Structure 1
Amino acid sequence: MSGYKIDVGKRSRQSDHVYRWDVHYGGEEESVETEYLYCEWDDIVRQFWVKRPIRLAWVTLTASWRALRSGVFAKTFQWSWPAGVTATMPAIAILILLIFGIGLGVAGYLLIGILGLLGGLAIGVALLWLAYQLEQKFNLTWVGRILSFHEREEQSRTHVLDRRRDAFGDLLKARIADGGVDEIMVVGHSYGAALAIAVMSRALDDLPDDAPTLSLLTVGQTVMWLAWLPEAGAMRDEIAAVAESDSVDWVDISAPPDGACFALVDPYTAIGDRNTERHNPKLLNAKFHEIMPEEEFAKPSRNWMRLHFQYIMAGARTGDYDYFAITAGPQTLADRFAHRPTVRDFTRLRRGRMKAVR
């Protein structure tokens, strides 16, 4: 459909937590060889990922309370109200169900005594179970889980995620030193955007004069949910280091219909910097309406989780955003989007004084 062919080679393990495979891009005029390195960290998430329903409800409520108390949710609504709804909806739903269930129990007790109390509580438990089944389908509590994961990992004595960031940073520095390539691109999706920024920041010191073009692509990023946490000073420093660097081309791509990301919000601006002369990051709209099937993009049938993963999926129609051409094609990231200006004047999803910030 797009006029090129991609051949994907066999996957192999390069080292602990790093897989590699080769990709050959064949277009009408050019062919490109790309080495893909997949840096895994899901094993860390699994150590802190809650599965039991009661524990999940507790973790969601406590993590949401800490985010509310620290101002993360307030800032989220200021910068992107859809992201605010996504972040707060799980805790609100759990609280409503709990209050409704307890209310049924109290009402039943007042009407017919103990049997009414037990019946009301039974209905409340059934509603909670129904909510859990809906959560399994719609993943309503993933934000609470992620906030809880981040806090628990930051508070742990092992700091295993920090060590993994350092290892990936060393891998990037070694690949830069090896040379022999035109471009090295680091890609991060959703929460992974925070790790991609962290890895890139670790490689910016003492770059060789003949270093290849360095590119950073963040898509569907949720960086601010983490960067606004009081204990996330290191992350804020990493965002600043990459945003202020002239050695890397950072493009951040998002879609306003995606309520699970901070659409067209500059992470560095959101944590406090107001220097609009920076070229990093370039903010671009993915324009999913151009590449998704109309029936899947239509609002009545829209699957928000499907939308959030469209960034790393093939499109059904040709468009400016093409993940595979971006990551395997002949143009560098900066060259591919050189014709599009950064979008810093999109404030439709903001509230209050943040509408005036660029």
Structure 2
Amino acid sequence: MDHAAEKTAQTGAPEGGVRRRRVFYIPGYDPIHPRRYRELYRKEGAEQARISGYTLNLSPKRGGGAYGWHVDATIDGEDVAVDVDVLVWSDIVRDSMSNTIPATYAQLARTAWEYIATGALWRLMKLRKGPVIAALYPVGALILQLLVALGLGWGLFALIRGGLSDMIGGWAAGLGGALGLVLFVGTLRWFKSKDAKTFVYYLMHDYAYSARYRGANPPDLERRMAAFADTIAQALRDDVDEVLVVGHSSGAHLAVSILADLIRAGRVPDRGPKLGFLSLGQVVPMVSFLRDAKRLRGDLQYLSARNELAWVDVTAPGDGCAFALCDPVSVSGVAPADKRWPLVFSAQFTKSLSPARWKTLRWRFFRLHFQYLCAFDRPLDYDYFQITAGPMNLRQRYDGRPPSASRIDHAVSKFTDIA
């Protein structure tokens, strides 16, 4: 029996088709429990199934291990069973977040210095202004908050000193100073309490996390990535048709290094499941352009030339938080002569969302950054739920699809040395 016939006999899926799939989702810098991703998949998957005319049902995860869920889908008349695992690092994210206001302002200074002094910020602006503006937003907002708090504190001090000096003499300055300081601290704390709506502190922590180690991975994150690699390696020995790794936002560059490590170590079986890598809304240049991101640049170069996997990179110019249509390998200046990945194309938010839906979402920048994981009411050739729960593997689905003509695929990074 040849391999294709053997595969069909074992799983019921023809060569290249999928009946059973393992999906590993790597979120970005997110301190929230991964149940949010299960609920997002459940809600948005049901809506996409309704729009596109297929069925998608979620149930509790089978077996132990990482947090996840099970999916049973019928798409294009084919039944597919999927186990989804979320590779959790939210605890590392929470631990990295400064608990005090002074510590956050210290992060601001270190992060601004790293990106500005090395010239990385100006080179990033040559790619896309949207994510750079998103990066500058917390810096500007924190400075503005500080100035407002200083202004209010100084104003109260001046008011009390001027109004009460005739009554209590020198005590007026001390009282004014004390009350002004209370107002200054209280104003900063009030701004911080509103961060669930403004995302100022959250974004500052996000950018500071990469800048602190100048693009290198912290030791605790490297240990977690090694554990992720072990989990994926085990799945590659399972009786499934495809193992699909999905990296969203900063989770995309973690996935690059995890997959590069797996392939280098010979942990991707020749006759095992198809291996796919889907990077969504990636912000790889925010890290790969930093001076000590040698490991990431080396992993980008290595992964881009491998045949063991199919790598598809999906972004959209409508997502102001991602480096839309920027080939992460090429712009990082490490594209090898035999480069074959990633296939870079746009999710085309303005076309795959109806005018009414686009109007509703257009200025909700953080919501749009998650649109890749959501339903489209006028879907084109990108459908997250068909990719993760449909009967075609990633390589098969996009075989022959041309990359977006407007992609940016020339070297921009100043730092190109690799580990």
- For normalisation by structure 1, the TM-score amounts to 0.83
Q: Is the 8 A contact 1:72 1:228 kept in 2?
A: yes
Partners in 1 of 2:361 and 2:367 — Cα distance?
Answer: 14
Aligned to 1:46: 94
Partners in 2 of 1:157 and 1:30 — Cα distance?
Answer: 41
2:252 aligns with one of 193, 206, 209: 193
1:33 aligns with one of 59, 67, 81: 81
**Secondary structure at the counterpart of residue 81 of structure 2:** strand
Shift of 1:158: 7.7
* Superposition pairs of residues 268-307 of structure 1, within 5 angstroms: 268-274=329-335, 278-292=339-353, 294-298=355-359, 302-307=363-368
CA separation of 1:269/1:29 partners in 2, compared to 1, >3 Å: closer, same or farther?
A: same
Shift of 1:326: 0.8
Aligned to 1:87: 135
Q: Is the 8 A contact 2:215 2:288 kept in 1?
A: no
**Secondary structure at the counterpart of residue 406 of structure 2:** coil
Q: Does 1:6 align with 2:67?
A: no
Aligned to 2:27: none
Aligned to 2:206: 146
Partners in 2 of 1:55 and 1:160 — Cα distance?
Answer: 20
Shift of 1:104: 6.8
- Percent identity between matched residues is 28
Aligned to 2:67: 19
* Superposition pairs of residues 106-145 of structure 1, within 5 angstroms: 128=188, 131-132=191-192, 135-145=195-205
Q: Is the 8 A contact 1:101 1:125 kept in 2?
A: yes
CA separation of 1:80/1:127 partners in 2, compared to 1, >3 Å: closer, same or farther?
A: farther
**Secondary structure at the counterpart of residue 243 of structure 2:** strand
Aligned to 2:231: 171
CA separation of 1:300/1:319 partners in 2, compared to 1, >3 Å: closer, same or farther?
A: closer
Partners in 2 of 1:317 and 1:155 — Cα distance?
Answer: 38
Partners in 2 of 1:247 and 1:153 — Cα distance?
Answer: 31
Aligned to 1:260: 321
Aligned to 1:203: 262
Shift of 1:282: 0.7
**Secondary structure at the counterpart of residue 240 of structure 2:** coil
Shift of 1:19: 2.7
Alpha-carbon displacement from aligned partner over 1:27-59 (angstroms, at most 9, x marks no partner): 242111222222111111111122444433432
CA separation of 1:109/1:253 partners in 2, compared to 1, >3 Å: closer, same or farther?
A: same
Shift of 1:353: 9.3
Partners in 2 of 1:158 and 1:345 — Cα distance?
Answer: 35
**Secondary structure at the counterpart of residue 14 of structure 1:** coil
Q: Is the 8 A contact 2:128 2:324 kept in 1?
A: yes
Q: Return 5+ residue gaps in structure 2 as ranges.
A: 1-50, 164-172, 413-419
Aligned residues: 348
Shift of 1:11: 2.4
Partners in 2 of 1:353 and 1:171 — Cα distance?
Answer: 34
Q: Is the 8 A contact 1:61 1:144 kept in 2?
A: no
Bigger radius of gyration: 2
Alpha-carbon displacement from aligned partner over 1:234-282 (angstroms, at most 9, x marks no partner): 1211211211212211101001121111111111112213558632011
Partners in 1 of 2:217 and 2:295 — Cα distance?
Answer: 16
Partners in 1 of 2:108 and 2:269 — Cα distance?
Answer: 46
Taking CA–CA contacts closer than 8 Å with sequence separation of 6 or more, which of the two structures ends up with the larger relative contact order?
A: 2
Aligned to 2:117: 69
Partners in 1 of 2:361 and 2:277 — Cα distance?
Answer: 34
275-284 or 194-203: which moved more? 275-284
Aligned structure 1 segments of 4 or more residues deviating by more than 4 angstroms? 99-131, 151-158, 274-277
Alpha-carbon displacement from aligned partner over 1:324-345 (angstroms, at most 9, x marks no partner): 1111101111222235311253
AA matched with 1:58: A
Partners in 1 of 2:321 and 2:217 — Cα distance?
Answer: 30
CA separation of 1:105/1:143 partners in 2, compared to 1, >3 Å: closer, same or farther?
A: closer
AA matched with 1:11: K
Partners in 2 of 1:46 and 1:110 — Cα distance?
Answer: 40
Aligned to 2:402: 341
Q: Is the 8 A contact 2:361 2:367 kept in 1?
A: no
Q: CA RMSD of the aligned region, Å?
A: 3.4
Shift of 1:61: 3.6
Aligned to 1:222: 283
Partners in 2 of 1:194 and 1:66 — Cα distance?
Answer: 19
Partners in 1 of 2:389 and 2:353 — Cα distance?
Answer: 21
49-58 or 200-209: which moved more? 49-58
AA matched with 2:59: G
